[in-house]
Amino acid sequence: MHINFEFKARHKDIAAAEKALQAHHPRFVGEDHQVDTYFNVPNGRLKLREGIIEHALIFYQRNNVAGAKQSDVTLYPHEPDAALKQILTQSLGIKTVVDKKRKIYFIENVKFHFDSVEGLGNFVEVEAIDKDGSIGMEKLKEQCNQYQHILGVADNDFMAESYSDLLLAKKSSFG
């Protein structure tokens, strides 16, 4: 398990935010098309990420509060395998599916996502990651704060919910 301190925000000009980040010479990982299948679980969130760059089974717990927040993550990277999805679907049932195009960057331990989410719009995510406890929460918070300003994210742009929560709310409001 590792700790992230992270935020997700709507962004009116995702291209400008990406350009602002590029001025800090990030490492570009690539552009990924990711399908995250969320499963019914009694606590936390469990999703199977199927992408070109990233594929993992991810369990995480986090409070739905706007702004930067702690997320406790257990990640199991794997090679794509239809049997895993079938087992999870049959045993737990699918809660919802998030389909997104994502540009991925890194600066040191900080991961940046520029997302276009089907049915929801454009978002920026910043994850300050501490894989082994050597960085500490204060430094992770500082990093999120620093990049919030660099990317031009206002406090009222922060999202409390995950993409899965937003999609589920949208579905329920349309009956």
First to last CA, the chain: 37
Q: In degrees, to the nearest 5, what angle opens at C-alpha 122 toward C-alphas 67 and 44? A: 50
pLDDT, residue 101, reads: 98
- pLDDT recorded at residue 174: 65
Q: What angle do CA 91, 100, 144 make, to 5 degrees?
A: 100
Residue/partner pairs of 29-32 with CB below 8 Å, 24 or more apart = 29/53, 29/104, 29/105, 29/106, 30/103, 30/104, 31/101, 31/102, 31/103, 31/104, 32/101, 32/102, 32/103, 32/104
* Contact between residue 127 and residue 14 where contact means Cβ atoms under 8 Å apart: no
What is the rounded CA–CA span in Å between residue 92 and residue 72? 21
The CATH topology of domain 2-173 is Hypothetical Protein Pfu-838710-001 (2.40.320)
0.85 exceeded by the pTM? yes
pLDDT along the chain (175 residues), means of 10: 89 94 97 97 95 95 82 90 96 97 98 96 95 92 96 93 91 70
Predicted local confidence at residue 40, as pLDDT: 97
Task: Sketch the domain layout of the chain as residue ranges.
Answer: 2-173
